[in-house]
């Protein structure tokens, strides 16, 4: 009986000692990210961009227009401005900031709001008021870009 208790206690200690969801390297990164006394670059973002590429971050703003007949949503809850590294693609920024699904370099769902090929409803985007002509994986964002994502039925002219 004492052996069984001893084995159970040993097993419990092993499980408790190994049972962390966060690797030690992430703990160290997170601790330094918000510590003002840290020697890390104060311009670094905790959004997944490596600190060494955030020396001169650029700012990108996102707006959303979702057809009310498709989804009832307050777009302001998902709109934001973010800092990212120069040379980052729109797809990379979207993956860092939003829950997205993609297919072939094109975004098919943002925060659970899905397009529907069967109903001719697609996610389209504009860059600074101009309709984009390439996929998000191919567009490199620039400082002060205003990206407007629209989810609505697509009507060919």
What pLDDT, in 10s, does the model give residues 74-100? Answer: 999 999 999 999 999 999 999 999 999
Contact criterion met (CB below 8 Å) for 32 and 21: no
Pairing of strands 145-153, 58-66: parallel
Out of 32-36, 46-50, 128-132, 139-143, least confident range: 32-36
Pair 68, 152: CB distance under 8 Å: no
* Alpha-carbon gap, residue 15 to 9, rounded angstroms: 10
Counting Cα atoms < 13 Å in the Cβ hemisphere of 3 gives: 0
Sheet holding 106-110, edge to edge: 100-103, 106-110, 113-114
The pLDDT mean for the chain works out to 75
Q: 135 or 39, which is more confident?
A: 135
Is this prediction's pTM over 0.75? no
Please state, in angstroms and rounded to a whole number, the distance separating the CA atoms of residues 34 and 47: 12
**Residue 13 vs residue 100, higher pLDDT:** 100
> Is the pLDDT at 39 greater than 90, yes or no?
no
φ and ψ at 55, to 5 degrees?
-60, -45
pLDDT in tens, 102-123: 988 789 999 999 999 999 999 9
């Amino acid at each position: 009986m004492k052996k069984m208790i001893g084995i159970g206690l040993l097993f419990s200690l092993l499980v408790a000692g190994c049972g962390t969801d966060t690797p030690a390297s992430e703990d160290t990164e997170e601790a330094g990210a918000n510590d003002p006394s840290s020697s890390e670059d104060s311009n670094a973002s905790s959004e997944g961009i490596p600190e060494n590429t955030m020396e001169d971050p650029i700012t990108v703003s996102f707006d959303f227009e979702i057809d009310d007949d498709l989804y009832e949503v307050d777009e302001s809850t998902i709109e934001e401005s973010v800092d990212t590294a120069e040379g980052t693609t729109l797809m990379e920024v979207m993956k860092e900031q939003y829950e997205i699904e993609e297919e072939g370099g094109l975004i098919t769902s943002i925060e659970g709001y899905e397009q529907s090929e069967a109903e001719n409803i697609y996610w389209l985007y504009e860059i600074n008021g101009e309709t984009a002509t390439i996929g998000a994986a191919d567009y490199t964002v620039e400082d002060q870009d205003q990206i407007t994502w629209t989810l609505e039925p697509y009507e060919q002219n």
